[in-house]
């Protein structure tokens, strides 16, 4: 997938992949519709960081969720 363009489809893809990787319980909080392309670079950074990790500690997961919450519209 080409994530170089800030499209709604790319936002949806990244959010879904982050949710899968983090195995988030409350997935309704992380609906792709809640994110806009205006902060696309920040979302790409979070996506790349999460995807690189083999394991994510509970504290890291909490920090990631908080950061994603701050990126919501």
First to last CA, the chain: 24
Confidence at residue 34, expressed as pLDDT on a 0 to 100 scale: 85
Q: What is the pLDDT of residues 28-64, one digit of tens each?
A: 667 888 888 888 999 999 999 999 999 989 899 888 8
Q: Is 10 exposed, middle or buried, given 0-12, 13-18 or 19+ CB atoms closer than 10 A?
A: buried
Integer Cα distance of 73 and 67 in angstroms: 13
Confidence at residue 44, expressed as pLDDT on a 0 to 100 scale: 94
The CA angle 40-43-44, to the nearest 5 degrees, is 85
Model confidence at 27, in pLDDT bands (50, 70, 90)?
A: low
> Could you state, in order of their start, the residue ranges of all structural domains in the chain?
8-71
Confidence at residue 25, expressed as pLDDT on a 0 to 100 scale: 59
Q: Determine if the pTM surpasses 0.85.
A: no
């Amino acid at each position: 997938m080409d994530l170089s363009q800030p499209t709604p489809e790319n936002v949806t893809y990244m959010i879904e992949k982050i949710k899968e990787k983090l195995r988030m319980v409350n997935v309704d909080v992380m609906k792709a519709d809640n994110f806009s392309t205006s902060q696309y670079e920040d979302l790409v950074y979070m996506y790349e960081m999460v995807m690189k990790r083999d394991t994510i500690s509970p504290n890291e997961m909490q920090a990631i969720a908080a950061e994603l919450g701050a990126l919501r519209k």
